[in-house]
Structure 1
Amino acid sequence: MKELIGTGVALVTPFTVENEVDVAGLRRVVQFQIDNGIDYLVLLGTTAESVTLTKEEKQLVIDTVVSENAGRLPMVLGIGGNNTQAVIDEMNSRDLSDFTAILSVSPMYNKPTQEGIYQHFAAIAAESPKPIILYNVPGRTASNIQPETVARLSRDFDAIVAIKEAAGDIVQAMRMISQTPDDFMVISGDDMITLPMILAGGSGVISVIGEGFPEMFSEMVRLGLKGEVTQAYKLHYRIAPAIDYIFAEGNPAGIKSVLEARGICGNSVRLPLVAASKELQGKIRDFVTQNT
């Protein structure tokens, strides 16, 4: 799975002012990543507002990205949820031939125990035709995958090859790195601590900010993976204010404002999300002007 070392980006789903999927905007987003050093693309994750997309819209997103990418970058597809059998059914019903791996979020709302989380992913791993990246984001799921559970899953299932770790806890990430096999990838899901995680032995990032500043963020990740700490931290501190901005009023409202400021796509989001405030949009535009 070396193709998933480095910078992946969680693609947004651009919308038109009529609230339809903006296919042309999505194509520009994809091309922008390819042109500016991103290593792989992640479709239909949290940042894609996938919970508000219909089955038909999800397929449209997949078809658009596959077509625009044209095999140039590896791709990961988000397939997850809190109904284990429904996740398995979706996984088995989709054409996954264009994808390197599946990103599957820990069940939300149900608040399973660690054993329940283990059994959920065990059932998925037994059926999956592709390698699986676990996705731990307790701020959204209301449950945390503990390092011991990650280690157990990494040892017991060859199909489970990585975790996107987005708890924002560097100590927990270090425990995952130390307790899992050497070929298991701990991937940052938190932009602000991506560099420390890489320097602790992590394999890269699935990023939000990287979508808006792919040239700067992917270079930071490359420097970190090469151990060029001083230069990497210079880029980290340069981009850090923008990381605060894009999450100040929620994701993906912030990153869509960045993409709008860069002329890539509009900033529309779907309810119950709302677009970034005028004040925040102004801060983002100023940062873009000063740093691009």
Structure 2
Amino acid sequence: MSNFLKGTGVALATPFNKDGSIDYTGVTSLVDFCIKGGIEYLVILGTTAESVTLSKEEKRDLVDHIVKVNDNRLPLVIGIGGNNTAAILKEIQETDLSYFDAILSVVPMYNRPSQEGIYQHYKKINDIVPIPVLLYNVPSRTGTNMAAETTLRLAQLENIIGIKEAVGDFTQVLKIIKDKPKDFLVISGDDTLALPAVAAGGDGVISVIGQGFPQEFSEMIRLGLAGETEKAFQILYKLLPILDYAFEEGNPAGIKNILKTREICQDYLRLPLIPVSEGLGEKIKEFIQNF
């Protein structure tokens, strides 16, 4: 059922114009660039999309545009999450999910629930959702780590099909891979650790850098999944510098500069995020020129 989530998905950035409005020409260019580069699926309205700065109307219009541009070429995953369980349930029920293959829903942030609170939050989602759900654990942003034990407990629920794990603790990733149900997907949310996770038995990645280097990154993950780890790691080592640069001054500032340098879209962001420094921009430009 969930084989479409194996491989490389990308958490799409949202291109903006100088006046802060959504750059729909840039959105089209980015989607086409990812598809032509061999990406397996697209994730809309994730963290990288600056979704917390988008109005309800902008989210709707952006989703409609990406659905139209994609034209059923790739599976689509939509981010629906937050820290108010009732509001999330309402959003799920009010969103037209007919074009989507799964929901990506982040661990509630800021109010820092207990492990039991996290479980009950996702159980409520599981009980009403009409399509599969991917958990998303990213403690560096939410302030709370969903323990491996909680993930494995949630893996028993009918509509929870996997996790995007961005804990930064590889031991936790290994614990989940070791004890997960057979069909439960473990998808890396960390670009640098994605290939090691695949080599350990993971299923792929939801990537940031993948939209800047779709051909290379998706090929690296496919090689890893095929057991051709030596070839895969050669690509990873070649990409290592840009992986550092992409996150050196925060996400999505880094990837937007990469996309600007690759002439996909401009690198405008919405406050409180700002573009990367001139020095970092020069390092990114030099890497791409020599890649």
The TM tier, using the shorter chain, reads over 0.9
2:155 is aligned with what amino acid? S
Partner of 1:125: 126
Shift of 1:153: 0.5
Structure 1 residue 275 displacement after superposition: 0.6
Contact 1:74 1:100 in 2 (8 A): yes
- Using the size of structure 2 for normalisation, the TM-score is 0.99
Query: Distance between the aligned counterparts of 1:117 and 1:127, measured in 2?
Result: 16
Contact 1:148-1:179 within 8 A present in 2 as well:
no
Q: Which runs of 5+ in 1 are unaligned?
A: none
- The correspondence of residues 93-242 of structure 1 with structure 2, limited to 5 A, is 93-155=94-156, 157-242=157-242
> Are 1:70 and 2:63 an aligned pair?
no
Q: Which residue of 2 aligns with 1:251?
A: 251
**1:261 aligned residue:** 261
Aligned amino acid, residue 63 of structure 1: D
Q: Is the 8 A contact 1:147 1:179 kept in 2?
A: no
Amino acid paired to 1:240? L
How far apart, in 1, do the equivalents of 2:214 and 2:168 lie? 21
Deviation, structure 1 residue 289: 1.1
| Separation (CA, whole Å) in 2 of partners of 1:288 and 1:125 | 43
Q: Counterparts of 1:169 and 1:99 in 2: how far apart (Å)?
A: 30
Q: Give the count of matched residue pairs.
A: 290
Cα deviation digits, residues 53-97 of structure 1 (max 9, x gap): 000100111011101000000000000000001001001101000
User: Aligned with 1:192: secondary structure?
Assistant: coil
Inter-partner Cα distance in structure 2 for 1:289 and 1:40: 27
Query: Could you tell me which residue of structure 2 aligns to residue 4 of structure 1?
Result: 5
Give the TM-score of the pair, scaled to structure 1: 0.99
Q: CA deviation at 1:258?
A: 0.4
User: In the aligned structure 1, how far is the partner of 2:181 from the partner of 2:54?
Assistant: 36
Secondary structure of the residue that 2:266 maps to in structure 1?
A: coil
AA at the equivalent of 2:170: I
Instruction: Quote how far apart the aligned CAs of 1:288 are.
Output: 1.1
- Any runs of at least 4 consecutive aligned residues in structure 1 with deviations exceeding 4 A, and if so which? none
Q: Deviations over 1:144-185 (max 9, x none)?
A: 010000000101x11000000001111110101112101000
Separation of aligned partners in 2, 1:49 and 1:63 = 17
Q: Deviations over 1:117-158 (max 9, x none)?
A: 000000011010110000000000000010000000101x11
* In structure 1, C-alpha distance between the alignment counterparts of 2:145 and 2:238, rounded to whole Å: 31
> Percent same amino acid among aligned pairs?
54
